Chains A and B, each alone.
Chain A
Amino acid sequence: MTGLLDLFGLAESAQLLSLSPPGWGGNLLRGLANSLQIAFGAFGMGLIIGLFGAYGKLYGGPILRDLLAIYTTVIRAVPELVLILILYYVGTDLINRLAAGLGYGRVEISGVVAGIWVLGIVQGAYATEVLRGAIKAVPPGQIEAARSYGMPAFMTMRRVTIPAMMSFATPGLANLWLIATKDTALLAIVGFAELTLETRQAASSTRAYFTFFLAAGALYLMVTLCSGVIFNWIERWARRGQPSLRETRQ
């Protein structure tokens, strides 16, 4: 086995990627954990913003609707990298001013929280559009029926709208989750210790660029492929009871 590894020059790579300190594998995994944490947080925050945004766009007053239109248009037209910088500076500025106003000194903001806040606002704009489309695809009769039985708005949302729109929303939400995992890489530029930055540090201190970038690529790919499987389950669960597309076509 070792002879085979030597043959392809892989022994060195295996050593570089080992989990204990001479190798950098541990750093990569820690970076991956950070990335996933930020991606989960941002996706969750995006879903909450998106749900309120979608309801606002569909049922809100004219002013709210115009403001939400500006939010989604601007966020979707400006590169994530630029938004990350703007939101990062605005966020730290606001918190520091608030802290100064309350009589505290400068506050150090944790990278994970800042990353979630920044990417969450970006995700929110996309989620608003995805969820708006999904809610519109729910037959209005179902929502009217719930209302006519006297269900309060929130109960209608919980019991009727959200379950009924799930099957329309899952493909878009799966895309958003993949965007969230890949956008965490952009936080490397602001200096957060997530997977891409850890990889770059490991690569530049060992000069083994290919080994580390390919390893990180494999980690990202693993996340993507696993998410694909999970979202397939969710979609099948959300579609339970509905005829499959193939059957309806024939």
Chain B
Amino acid sequence: MSVLKPLMQPHRLVLMALFAGLIVWCAVSLRWDWIPAYAPLALQGLWTTIWILVVTSILGFALAVPLGLAQAVGPWYLSVPARVFCTVIRGTPLLLQIWLLYYGLGSLFPQFPWIRSSELWPYLRQAWPYAVLALTLSYAGYEGEVMRGAFSGVAKGQLEAAKAYGMPRGTMFRRIWLPQAVRNVLPTLGGETILQLKATPLVATITVLDIYAVSSRVRSDTFIVYEPLLLLALVYMVIAGLITLAFKRFEDRIPQRQ
């Protein structure tokens, strides 16, 4: 009940009543008759959005760890390229990166016969590999910068202690350096994952059928403007809320120093 207590103030009750009224008004006076016809397609689109988000976040994070490490402690021939990569990714719009990969590489590949005859060709002809590649690189670029700070923020004494116990470097990295770095930036990672969610609708511009693409299709098929967009915004808000909750549970599992 302690969760509900802050909601039980008079002005909030009035606001909630107004909000409920707004929802009822939306449900009654706006057009929702298109939903049953498009529900299967919408589920498929939702699934595409979610797996692209999950796959690119995980791959991007896997790429961000070496990028951050190279920038934090690497020799110059590793740290300079890593920094250039992060600067370029963060300095150009994602939409441009997606279009560069899809239209650029997509127009380049068919010129090489050995690519056309390779086993990868059926995949390279589709749009989603380019979408996944672009979003992965983008996440890696932003996260590489975050992980650079995280790796250099781990207290030196911890690493020295591990070294003093004779821990090999790989074990030290796996058991001490990486977990400490990740736990320090968990809130940032949560925020970045929500940013990644908000980047996913851009893949619709290269013909990947995600939930945003489904809503555009509804709009162009039925000429209904607001309803699909409002529902779409609601879907994104729910997913963002779920991501926040998931990261919060992660954070709660980490014991805090009082």
Contacts and interface: CB of A to CB of B under 8 A. Distances in A.
B96 interface: yes
B198 A210 contact: no
A161 interface: no
B100 A214 contact: yes
B96 A86 contact: no
A74 to B, nearest CB: 7
Contact of A79 (B11, B15, B93, B199): B199
Contact of A82 (B100, B104, B233): B233
Contacts of A79: 197-201, 212, 236
A147 B35 CA distance: 57
A62 B233 contact: no
Contacts of B157: none
Contacts of A86: 226, 229-230, 233
Interface stretch (A44-52, A113-121, A215-223): A215-223
Nearest to A80: B198
Interface in B160-205: 194, 197-202, 205
B96 A185 contact: yes
For chain A, what secondary structure do more than half of its interface residues adopt (helix, strand, loop), or is it mixed? helix
A102 to B, nearest CB: 23
A173 interface: no
A184 B202 CA distance: 13
B99 A82 contact: no
A190 to B, nearest CB: 12
Nearest to A62: B11
Given A82-B229, A82-B232, A89-B229, A209 B92 contact: no
For chain B, what secondary structure do more than half of its interface residues adopt (helix, strand, loop), or is it mixed? helix
A104 to B, nearest CB: 22
A210 B104 contact: yes
A220 B93 contact: yes
Contact of A209 (B15, B107, B236): B107
A214 B97 CA distance: 9
A221 B103 contact: no
Most buried by B among A63, A182, A209: A209
Interface stretch (A15-23, A133-141, A196-204): A196-204
Contact residues on A (Cβ < 8 Å of other chain), bracket: 35 or more
A210 B12 CA distance: 54
B15 A66 contact: yes
A106 interface: no
A186 B205 CA distance: 10
Given A74-B237, A82-B232, A82-B236, A221 B205 contact: no
A200 B99 contact: yes
Interface residues of B, number: 40
Given A66-B12, A82-B233, A199 B96 contact: yes
Contacts of A221: 87-88, 91-92
Interface string A66-103: 11000000101111111101100110000000000000
A225 B229 contact: no
A82 B15 contact: no
A79 B136 CA distance: 18
Interface in B67-87: 87
Interface in B218-258: 225-226, 229-230, 232-233, 236-237, 240-241
Nearest to A225: B91
B237 A77 contact: yes
B94 interface: yes
Nearest to A203: B103
Most buried by B among A66, A85, A217, A221: A85
Give 5 closest A-B pairs by Cβ, nearest first: A185-B93, A224-B91, A213-B100, A79-B198, A77-B240
Interface of A: 62-63, 66-67, 74, 76-83, 85-86, 89-90, 178, 182-186, 188-189, 196, 199-200, 203-204, 207, 209-210, 213-214, 216-217, 220-221, 224-225
Given A79-B212, A189-B95, A204-B103, 18 more contacts: A66-B15, A79-B198, A81-B212, A83-B233, A85-B229, A89-B226, A89-B229, A183-B93, A185-B93, A185-B94, A185-B96, A188-B95, A207-B107, A209-B107, A213-B99, A216-B96, A220-B96, A224-B92
